[in-house]
Amino acid sequence: MTLTAENVSAFVELFGSLKIDPSATRSAHMQASGFVWSDEKPDSSTPGEYPVAINTFMVYLISYRSTIIRGSPFEPFTPIWNRFQELCPSWPGFSPERSNPDAVPELDAELDEQLNYLERYLSVCERRRARCRDTNQDSE
């Protein structure tokens, strides 16, 4: 499914009932390079025909909001964001404090932490592969 401003309405039913949760937790979303709050996405057990599309839609939303807080909105996503805001104005992700540019240093620090973890993980995987190759060569 290619996301366009015209088909954003497919997500309104799932996202329209979401409300701001004062105890929502925030985390950095590496793929979207932005913060996501736990109250912004429908429960994964929500029935519907768009499970993959929901994830893609969230990446669009979180990515676009990240470009907003960085002061350079990614124009190709603007019609999708605007249409969703028109159809689903109560979505928790539109809360002004979630688009605060003051959060950029925290976001960058959390994304760096995730990337450092990923680099360490990949390094361990590479060492294990090398050990397996060495073991297999020794047994030949």
Angle between helices 104-138 and 51-69 (to 10 degrees): 130
Beta bridge partners of 35: 28
* Helix, strand, or coil (residue 65): helix
Query: What phi, psi does 47 have (nearest 5°)?
Result: -70, 150
- Residue 1: per-residue pLDDT: 63
Show pLDDT as tens, one digit a residue, over the chain (140 residues): 678 888 888 888 889 899 999 999 999 999 999 999 999 988 765 455 446 678 889 999 999 999 999 999 999 999 999 999 999 999 999 999 999 999 999 999 999 998 888 888 888 888 888 888 878 776 66
- Count of structural domains within the chain: 1
Domain ranges, residue 94: 5-138
Q: Which residue has the tokens 């893609």?
A: 56
Terminal Cα distance for the chain, rounded: 49
Beta bridge partners of 36: 27
- Residue 82: per-residue pLDDT: 95
* Helix, strand, or coil (residue 30): coil
Give the distance between the most distant pair of CA atoms in the chain.
66
| Residue 10 tokens, joined | 């497919």
| All residues at 6 or more sequence positions from 34 whose CB lies less than 8 Å from its CB, including other chains | 28, 62, 63, 65, 66, 69, 107
